[in-house]
Amino acid sequence: MDPDDKKLVTDFLEGDSEALGGLLERYLNLVYRFAFRITRDSHDAEDVTQATFIKVWHNLHKFDVEKNFRTWLLSIAHNSAIDLLRKRKSFVFSDFDTLEGGNSITDALPDPTPLPPEIFSRAEDKKFLDSALSELSPAFREILILHHEEGLTFSEISSIVSKPLNTVKSQYRRALLTLRRNLEQPR
User: Of the CATH numbers 3.40.50.300, 1.10.1740.10, 3.10.520.10, 3.30.565.10, which one belongs to the domain with range 3-88?
Assistant: 1.10.1740.10
pLDDT tens-place string over residues 167-181: 999 999 999 888 888
Domain ranges of the chain: 3-88, 106-184
| Ranges of the chain with pLDDT below 50 | 90-93, 95-96, 104-105, 108-116, 123-124
Cα(11)–Cα(19) distance, rounded to whole angstroms?
Answer: 6
Closest by CA position to 39, among listed 161, 126, 149, 138 = 138
Cα(1)–Cα(75) distance, rounded to whole angstroms?
Answer: 15
Q: What is the pLDDT of residue 60?
A: 85
Closest by CA position to 176, among listed 104, 109, 119 = 119
Name every residue whose Cβ is closer than 8 Å to that of residue 14 and which is 6 or more positions away in sequence: none
CB 45, CB 91: distance < 8 Å: no
- For CA atoms 144, 48, 103, 101, the dihedral sign is positive
Q: What is the pLDDT of residue 96?
A: 47
Q: What is the pLDDT of residue 108?
A: 45
- The CATH architecture to which 106-184 belongs is Orthogonal Bundle (1.10)
Single-letter residue type at 110: P
pLDDT tens-place string over residues 39-62: 888 999 999 999 999 998 888 888
CB 143, CB 137: distance < 8 Å: no
Name every residue whose Cβ is closer than 8 Å to that of residue 66 and which is 6 or more positions away in sequence: 1
